[in-house]
């Protein structure tokens, strides 16, 4: 059974991999045997991730890429594939969040969030699919959110982008299945990362949220490793168009 999860010989790209969930997934893929390219807006921010992947004995490269720029998406994906000698796995993790009452949302905030979380994911997937289709297929994993399913006040641009990402996952899965490309998603629950740390500093918020999670704990980044490897590997060969919530039972309890 362990061979089903073996990623030896596979080539992956993880966007937004300088920290948090992106770094954790990149290391999980490398730990399963994949060579892993990583991207962020600034290549120098990837030094720790690159060092950790190298320490696992896997090949890697750092790619500077602002996913809001379509040309940068295409160039970054192509650069990762050229450095690794192909591309079998793409993890669309790059994302941003900013909470604000909806009546105060302006065009700049809307575009920054939606272009990063949704447009960037689409055009990275498109660039990767062109490579994968010519090589017999591959696996794309998008990072959705609990807001792909539920409405969160003051997070409407973020929720809109993540709901769109879930729809995109399903649509691309059906369109690209014939090319051997599987498209799935992960919806992390409440994980404390650099992007979300300010929420967890509020003790009342943390206590209230923990009461809604059946496992009564927030997620640990290691909780995402197995799901990411599963969706990237042969173990999920007949799984496409799905989104797996890693949330301690939060959605099930609603």
221-232, pLDDT tens digit by residue? 999 999 999 999
For 30-52, the pLDDT digits (tens) are: 999 999 999 999 999 999 999 99
For residues 246 and 226, the answer to whether their CB atoms sit within 8 Å is no
Domain assignments of the chain as residue spans, ordered by start: 2-253
pLDDT at 81: 98
Position 194 confidence tier, pLDDT thresholds 50, 70, 90: confident
H-type alpha helices, the chain: 20-31, 47-55, 70-84, 107-114, 120-134, 156-176, 197-200, 203-210, 225-232
pLDDT at 182: 98
Among residues 165, 170, 201, 197, which one has the least CA distance to residue 183?
A: 170
Position 198 confidence tier, pLDDT thresholds 50, 70, 90: confident
SS3 140: strand
Among residues 53, 83, 51, which one has the least CA distance to residue 65?
A: 83
Question: Superfamily assignment of 2-253 in CATH?
Answer: NAD(P)-binding Rossmann-like Domain (3.40.50.720)
78, burial (CB in 10 Å: exposed 0-12, middle 13-18, buried 19+): middle
Looking at the predicted structure, is the pLDDT value of residue 1 above 90?
A: no
Q: In what order do the strands lie in the sheet with 35-40?
A: 60-64, 35-40, 11-14, 89-92, 138-143, 181-188, 243-246
Looking at the predicted structure, is the pLDDT value of residue 192 above 90?
A: no
Catalytic amino acids?
158
Among residues 9, 8, 81, 86, which one has the least CA distance to residue 39?
A: 81
Whole-model pTM? 0.96
For 60-90, the pLDDT digits (tens) are: 999 999 999 999 999 999 999 999 999 999 9
Q: Which two tokens stand for residue 18?
A: 């300088």
For 124-175, the pLDDT digits (tens) are: 999 999 999 999 999 999 999 999 999 999 999 999 999 999 999 999 999 9
For 90-126, the pLDDT digits (tens) are: 999 999 999 999 999 999 999 999 999 999 999 999 9
Among residues 62, 58, 32, which one has the least CA distance to residue 47?
A: 62
Query: What average pLDDT score do residues 202-218 get?
Result: 94
pLDDT at 14: 98
């Amino acid at each position: 059974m362990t061979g089903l999860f073996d990623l030896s010989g596979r080539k992956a790209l993880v966007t937004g991999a300088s920290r948090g969930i992106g770094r954790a997934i990149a290391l999980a893929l490398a730990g399963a045997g994949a060579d892993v390219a990583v991207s962020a807006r600034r290549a120098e921010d990837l030094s720790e991730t690159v060092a950790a992947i190298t320490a696992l004995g896997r090949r890697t490269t750092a790619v500077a890429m602002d996913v809001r720029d379509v040309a940068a998406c295409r160039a970054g994906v192509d650069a990762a594939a050229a450095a690794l000698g192909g591309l079998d796995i793409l993890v669309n993790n790059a994302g941003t969040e900013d909470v604000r009452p909806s009546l105060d949302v302006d065009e700049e905030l809307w575009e920054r969030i939606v272009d990063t979380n949704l447009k960037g994911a689409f055009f990275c997937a498109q660039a990767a699919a062109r490579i994968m289709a010519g090589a017999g297929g591959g696996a794309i994993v998008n990072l959705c959110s609990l807001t792909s399913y539920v409405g969160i006040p003051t997070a409407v641009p973020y929720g809109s982008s993540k709901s769109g990402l879930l729809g995109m996952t399903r649509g691309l899965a059906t369109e690209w299945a014939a090319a051997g490309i599987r498209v799935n998603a992960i919806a992390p629950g409440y994980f404390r990362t650099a992007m979300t740390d300010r929420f967890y500093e509020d003790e009342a918020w943390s206590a209230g949220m923990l009461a809604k999670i059946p496992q009564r704990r927030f997620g640990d980044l290691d909780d995402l490793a197995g799901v990411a490897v599963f969706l990237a590997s042969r173990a999920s060969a007949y799984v496409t168009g799905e989104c797996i919530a890693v949330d301690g039972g939060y959605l099930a309890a609603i």
